[in-house]
């Protein structure tokens, strides 16, 4: 059975625990989920600056992992870094943003995203546009709560996410996507309340990664994600980005 690395994009262990629980609940019995927390980087990712810092921490966490693995789940919604992992790995890499949106497109004509802070909305829009998934997105709304506050008051968080999800449905969304890895697990309650499918990106990505392994498929190395040419990296905290086999 496969082993999946599920990588948090921030350095907060409590968030990693939430992500790991969501992934384990989604995969088949026997599939091993190994959660990773970067050893350096921001405590939460809420800006372009922090997103690029976290991408290096995520690369380091995966490259320093000592053991075999069959796929990687990049657990940052709208964050950069998945592309770099695809450059250096021989195994499938699934980003929760694209996994959630792709899954939503299978369930309805349109989908909407509920995320944490308003400033994350443009970044999510950019990632969906780059992935070719923006055309089916009817809107992205925020609850305007910092990532690390989502777990401190679960009732407030659930209420805020529900209110914004209801607005998305009123505005035409046929499927709702949770746009924050830290809110994994909220989809069940929201589905019952809204009577529309609610997609948890971590769960979708873990299941898709597992499926790609079962199908024997991985990232094409023909052009976009070809292995980087070996070169010296002066003062870089990572190992040289040679091709890595899980």
Asked whether the domain spanning 97-201 has the same topology as the one spanning 3-95+204-215, the reply is: yes
Tell me the average pLDDT across 60-68: 94
What does CATH list as the number for 97-201? 3.40.50.12500
Question: Which pLDDT score is estimated for 192?
Answer: 75
| 3-state secondary structure at position 164 | helix
The yes-or-no verdict on residue 81 having pLDDT over 70 is yes
76 pLDDT band, cuts 50/70/90, is very high
Question: Which pLDDT score is estimated for 182?
Answer: 75
Model confidence pLDDT, tens digit, residues 130-144: 999 999 999 999 998
Tokens of 156: 């407030």
One-letter-per-residue 3-state SS of 48-108: HHHHHHHHHHHHHHHHCCCCCCCEEEEECCCCCCHHHHHHHECCCEEEHHHHHHHHHHCCC
The yes-or-no verdict on residue 208 having pLDDT over 50 is yes
Tell me the average pLDDT across 176-188: 81
Strands 71-75 and 137-142: unpaired
**Domain spans, the chain:** 3-95+204-215, 97-201
The yes-or-no verdict on residue 238 having pLDDT over 70 is no
Q: Which CATH class is domain 3-95+204-215?
A: alpha beta
151 pLDDT band, cuts 50/70/90, is low
Question: Which pLDDT score is estimated for 19?
Answer: 94
Question: Which residues share a beta bridge with 198?
Answer: 176
Q: Which of the residue ranges 58-62, 64-68, 150-154, 212-216 would you say has the lowest mean pLDDT?
A: 150-154
- Name the DSSP class of 181: G
Bigger pLDDT: 79 or 238?
A: 79
Contact 84, 51 (CB under 8 A): no
The yes-or-no verdict on residue 160 having pLDDT over 90 is no
Contact 22, 51 (CB under 8 A): no
Question: Which pLDDT score is estimated for 146?
Answer: 80
122 pLDDT band, cuts 50/70/90, is very high
Please give the helix or strand (H or E) that residue 111 lies within, else none: strand 111-115
pTM above 0.85, yes or no: yes
The yes-or-no verdict on residue 9 having pLDDT over 60 is yes
């Amino acid at each position: 059975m496969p082993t999946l690395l599920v990588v948090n994009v921030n350095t907060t262990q409590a968030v990693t625990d939430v992500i790991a629980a969501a992934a384990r609940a989604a995969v088949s019995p026997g599939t091993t989920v190994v959660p990773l927390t970067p050893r350096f980087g921001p405590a939460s990712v809420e800006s372009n600056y922090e997103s690029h810092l976290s991408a290096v921490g995520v690369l380091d966490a995966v490259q320093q992992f000592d053991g075999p693995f069959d796929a990687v789940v990049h657990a940052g919604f709208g964050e950069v870094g998945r592309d770099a992992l695809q450059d250096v790995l021989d195994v499938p890499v699934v980003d929760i943003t694209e996994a959630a949106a792709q899954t939503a497109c299978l369930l309805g004509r349109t989908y909407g995203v509920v995320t944490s802070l308003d400033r994350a909305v443009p970044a999510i829009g950019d990632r969906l546009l780059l992935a070719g998934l923006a055309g089916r997105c009817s809107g992205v709304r925020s609850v305007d709560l910092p990532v690390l506050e989502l777990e401190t008051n679960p009732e407030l968080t659930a209420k805020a996410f529900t209110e914004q999800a209801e607005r998305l449905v009123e505005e035409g969304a046929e499927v709702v996507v949770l746009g924050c890895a830290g809110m994994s697990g909220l989809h069940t309650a929201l589905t019952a309340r809204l009577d529309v499918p609610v997609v948890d990106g971590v769960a979708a990505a873990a299941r898709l990664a597992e499926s790609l392994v079962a199908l024997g498929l991985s990232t094409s190395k023909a052009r976009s994600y070809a292995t980087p040419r070996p070169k010296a990296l002066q003062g870089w905290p990572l190992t040289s980005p040679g091709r890595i086999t899980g």
